Amino acid sequence: MTLPPAFWTYLKVVLLVALVPAIVGFVVVLAERRLMGFMQARLGPNRVGPQGTLQGLADLLKLVTKEDITPSRAEKAVHSLAPVLAVIPALTALSVIPFGPPVRVGRTVVPLWVADVNIGLLFLLAITSIGVYGIILGGWSSNNKYSLLGGLRSAAQLVSYEVPMGLALVSVLLMTRSLSLVQSVRRQEAMHLWFVFPGLLAFFIYFVAGVAETNRNPFDLPEAESELVSGFNTEYSGVKFAFFFLGEYTAMIIISCVAVTVFFGGWLPPFPNVKALEFLWQVPPALWFLAKVAAFLFAYIWFRSTFPRYRFDQLMALGWKWLIPLALTNILLVAFAILLTPGWTTGLVWLGWTLGVLFVLAYLAAKLRQKLARRERLAAEPHPVEG
């Protein structure tokens, strides 16, 4: 008996829509709170369930049972629509992410993605930017000045950070020659090269823009708690707030998934073509994918617990004056590397080596200089007691 392909598609959709919120609620949020706690020399939530594992359930129960308040003089329809707008595109975008190579179930081969769209990246960029409307409309419809400011901030921020993000992905397109995400993984396998090496700059730009796109620290201006009292979601409570929350974290997951797929070889284990490391293939590819995504989410959490927040105008300056020119330069760089060398791969490999070595050398030099400067300063400091 063979099940029709449509069955598998429906199953995958249901799994994604049911699983992702659960993962977000139970794993990501808990991991964020506990890891941030560890980094801040404290324990984080560890009361609900063993080691706090059921904290997500408690949070969910709290949010669901909370009173749903719509402020007076708010635009009621838009106020209710906004959270939905924030969460639906984020979940939709998951459909094109390839979580692993096709697997065999009985006699059918089931791909681990809902759809391999040939305009995958374009679709992703398009659908995730709809999520911006949720934030803008939510901020505007709340009839609260702080929310309005938050919404306006996010309008400017998210729209302008789409540009460097798209430009960074253009340079990857030069390497993959396809917009399809599955193709980009296959190409990395064929070229024996993760695209993060030649695309170091592109990756940097993409990730910075991605952090900005998801309103996370250090770019969490629309919800800046200490300035705008949570910004656009100040007037939301209960399930609506949970939707915003879910939308934000799903967006984080999508940004990480795309980064992994495009730059870090998707489901491929590290060094997929080295003979000595072949045992790495024993791990299911989907697990490699999840591990890489987890690493990215960890980076998100690490950033949040370390960096201060940019100011609104400085954020715009960073985007327009630094990231966009840098992205354009990077496109040229990659294009020339491909054009001026024989074959498709040679130039990219050379580019990868050059960028990597240059960065490591520069970093070591800077670190050394810092160490020497500190030693000098310590030598000049007076003794604490004798003076």
Partner 1 sequence: MALKKWLDRITLLDLFDGLSVTGRHLLKKKVTIEYPEQKKLPSDRFRGMFRLDEERCIKCTLCAIECPINIIYIDWHNEKDEQNKSVKVLDRFDVDLKRCMFCQLCEEACPTVPKSIWLTTKTYEMAAYDRNESLYLDIRKLTDWREAPNVKPFTVVERG
Partner 2 sequence: MEAALRAAAGTMSDDKISQAEKDEAAYFAERAKAAAARAAEASAVTGTPPTLFDVQEMELNFGPQHPSTHGVLRIVLKVDGEKILEAKPDVGYLHRGTEKLFETETYPMGVPHTDRMDYVAAATNNHAYCLTIEKLLAVEVPRRAQLIRVILDELQRLSSHLVWLGTSGIDLGAVTPFWYAFREREQILDFFEEYCGARLTLNCMRIGGLPFDLTPGWTERVAEFVDDLPARIDEYEQLLTDNRIWKKRTVGIGVISGEECIEWGLTGPVIRASGVEWDLRRAQPYECYEELDFVVPTRQNGDTYDRYIVRVQEMRQSVRIVRQCLERLEPGEIRGKVPRVIKPVAEEVYASVESPKGELGFYCVSNGSNKPYRMHVRPPSFINLQALPRLAKGHLVSDLVALIGTIDIVLGEVDR
Selected from 13, 35, 163, 286, the binder of partner 1 by CB under 8 A is: 35
| Binding residues among 302-331 for partner 1 as defined by CB under 8 A | 302-303, 305-307
Q: Side-chain half-sphere of 70: how many Cα atoms within 13 Å?
A: 13
Q: Is 305 in the site for partner 2 (CB under 8 A)?
A: yes
Selected from 367, 371, 374, 375, the binder of partner 1 by CB under 8 A is: 367
* C-alpha span between 251 and 35 (Å, rounded): 20
From the list 219, 215, 245, 246, the residue with the least C-alpha distance to 233 is: 245
User: Could you tell which of partner 2, partner 1, none binds residue 197, using a CB distance below 5 to 8 A set by kind?
Assistant: none
Tokens of 65: 């049972």
Please list, in sequence order, all residues whose beta carbon lies within 8 angstroms of the beta carbon of residue 332, skipping any fewer than 6 positions away: none
For residues 226 to 245, the per-residue mask of contacts with partner 2, x marking binding by CB under 8 A and - elsewhere, is xxxx----------------
* Site size toward partner 2, by CB under 8 A: 38
User: Could you tell which of partner 1, partner 2, none binds residue 177, using a CB distance below 5 to 8 A set by kind?
Assistant: none
Burial class (CB in 10 A: 0-12, 13-18, 19+), 246: buried
From the list 210, 178, 216, the residue with the least C-alpha distance to 195 is: 178
User: Could you tell which of partner 1, partner 2, none binds residue 217, using a CB distance below 5 to 8 A set by kind?
Assistant: partner 2
Selected from 2, 4, 6, 41, the binder of partner 1 by CB under 8 A is: 41
User: Could you tell which of partner 1, partner 2, none binds residue 362, using a CB distance below 5 to 8 A set by kind?
Assistant: partner 1
Other Cβ atoms less than 10 A from the Cβ of 30: the count is 22
Q: Is 77 in the site for partner 2 (CB under 8 A)?
A: no
φ/ψ bin of 225: left (φ > 0), alpha (ψ from -120 to 50), beta (otherwise): alpha
For residues 110 to 149, the per-residue mask of contacts with partner 2, x marking binding by CB under 8 A and - elsewhere, is ---------------------------------x-xx--x
Burial class (CB in 10 A: 0-12, 13-18, 19+), 257: buried
Q: Is 362 in the site for partner 1 (CB under 8 A)?
A: yes
CB of 52 to partner 1, least distance (A): 12
Smaller CB separation from partner 2, 306 or 346: 306
Q: Is 372 in the site for partner 1 (CB under 8 A)?
A: no
Please list, in sequence order, all residues whose beta carbon lies within 8 angstroms of the beta carbon of residue 295, skipping any fewer than 6 positions away: none
Beta bridge partners of 103: 110
Q: Judge whether 226 and 382 are in contact, CB under 8 Å.
A: no
Selected from 172, 310, 324, 327, the binder of partner 2 by CB under 8 A is: 310
Tokens of 151: 């919404």
**Where are the extended beta strands (E) located within 89-150?**
103-105, 108-110
Q: Is 380 in the site for partner 2 (CB under 8 A)?
A: no
Selected from 365, 371, 374, 375, the binder of partner 1 by CB under 8 A is: 365
| Binding residues among 29-68 for partner 2 as defined by CB under 8 A | 36, 39-42
Q: Judge whether 289 and 260 are in contact, CB under 8 Å.
A: yes
Contact residues toward partner 2 (CB under 8 A) are: 36, 39-42, 73, 75, 143, 145-146, 149, 152-153, 217-218, 220-221, 224-229, 304-314, 382, 384-385, 387
Contact residues toward partner 1 (CB under 8 A) are: 35, 37-43, 46, 302-303, 305-307, 359, 362-363, 365-367, 369-370
